[in-house]
Amino acid sequence: MFYILWDEAHLWGVLMLRALGAWGLPARLVRAREVAAGVLADAPPAVFVVPGGFASRKAMSLTPAGLTAVREYVRGGGSYLGVCGGAGLGLTIPGGLGLCPWTREPFRHRLQHFASGTIELVPRPSAFTPKDIGRPHAPVWWPAKFKSGEPGVETVAAYGPKSQDFMMADIPLSLVPQDALEDWEALYGVRLAPAFDEGDPCIIAGGFGKGRYVLSHAHLETPGSPQANAWLGYILAELAGLSSAPSLAAPAWNIGQSAFDNPALKKGLEYMLELVALGQAHGLLDWREPWLLGWRQGLPGAALSGILAMLDCALAMTPTDASRRFFERKQDEFMKNMELLAKGLSGYLLAERLALTLSRVDPEAVPERGLREAKLTLFGPPPGAAGMGGGLCGAILSILEEYIFLTGRQTLAALTSP
């Protein structure tokens, strides 16, 4: 059995859930409260999987008791797979698990955090590296950088060259000539380069007590990345001690095509898709992938992608009695918050569009303070405003998170049905 930590994962949790479901691997969603209560000791999984998201939020959800429980599970012989935020949680950072003695580099400039796109992975010999893997391509979504130094950690894959789709914030690097990048750095002190360099570790592995961990900044579970998916299957098989690795690719995912008939959830998804269309019409949002938005820098695009992913996931799954009863209790609250979010976000997007237009002629015409206050109401304080955490957005995600948890424990296969 594979456990997926469901708290504070949202979009990235759905990606992992879909991948494991497609491969037919027995997977169970677990909440941080269950981990803190001892589920890893009472019924140890083959692998404890922690998807992307904010490591700090995951740590807060787990509480000190949950963090201790994860450490003891791995120390006793368990296996840990952390992706992006889950990788950060496994490092030796304040509030982290400390499975890996490495930590993470601080960003020299915050812009470095906004790197995303496909990179070439350069494999290194290890137990987690398939033979004849070549140099596959895999996406990274806003990664940090491992800070190496302590012994006992091996590099499974290093960063290679960036692909044509690679972006820094909302700027496609392939569309900016190298001499322009050099001019920007000389004139403005802006260096459009990610925190990592070619050759830096991207996927690392090591031991903790009797157990093992793999920490990956590459999102090997991403749809449309078959080589990366195959490598993830190999890593999971090695961690779980399976005789063979699953070879299926993660299923394609197009937000808005799920069809389970829940009027409230469907209405919520309609609201969100209308808001995306509004953002597209004003040049603020686009579909970077069929399951992931692109957005102008500073907009809460990650939060919007999180709600879209969770709504679509909820609509793809046949509810259980427990999830149906839960949603009946929460439906009025859910719809009220969705209506407030739709109205508030519509006004916020239009205000951002006006501010963008007027910024060159009258920077004070749309006060920045008003935009910040609107974002705070809708998405909460950072990192929620940049991620998927607070405000009305957080209240909606909290309901969807529990609904999918109560549903997904029994109906994971529905996510990957044709």
pLDDT in tens, the chain (418 residues): 899 999 999 999 999 998 888 888 888 999 999 999 999 999 999 999 999 999 999 999 999 999 999 999 999 999 999 999 999 999 999 899 999 999 998 877 777 888 999 999 999 999 999 988 889 999 999 998 999 878 899 999 999 999 999 999 999 999 999 999 899 989 988 888 898 999 999 999 999 999 999 999 999 999 989 899 999 999 999 999 988 877 778 889 999 876 677 899 999 999 999 999 999 999 999 999 999 999 998 898 989 999 999 999 999 888 899 999 999 999 999 999 999 999 999 999 999 999 888 887 887 777 888 888 888 899 888 754 344 457 899 999 999 999 999 987 544 444 444 4
**Long-range contact set of residues 374-379: C-beta below 8 Å, sequence gap at least 24:** 374/344, 374/347, 374/348, 375/300, 375/348, 377/344, 378/300, 378/341, 378/344, 378/345, 378/348, 379/300, 379/303
153 close to 205: Cβ distance less than 8 angstroms: yes
Which CATH code is given to the segment(s) 2-240?
Answer: 3.40.50.880
Kindly state the tokens that stand for 67.
């963090």
pLDDT of res. 111: 79
pLDDT of res. 82: 98
pLDDT of res. 214: 98
pLDDT of res. 411: 44
Domain segments of the chain as ranges: 2-240, 263-416
Cα atoms in the Cβ-side hemisphere of radius 13 Å centred on 3: 21
pLDDT of res. 417: 44
Cα atoms in the Cβ-side hemisphere of radius 13 Å centred on 311: 28
pLDDT of res. 190: 84
Kindly state the tokens that stand for 81.
């797979």
Kindly state the tokens that stand for 271.
């609201």
Determine the distance from the C-alpha atom of residue 203 to the mean position of all C-alpha atoms in its chain, rounded to a whole number: 16
| Phi (first) and psi of residue 175, to 5 degrees | -95, 0
Residues 219, 222, 224, 226, CA torsion sign: positive
pLDDT of res. 52: 93
Q: Give the whole-angstrom CA distance, residue 333 versus residue 162.
A: 44
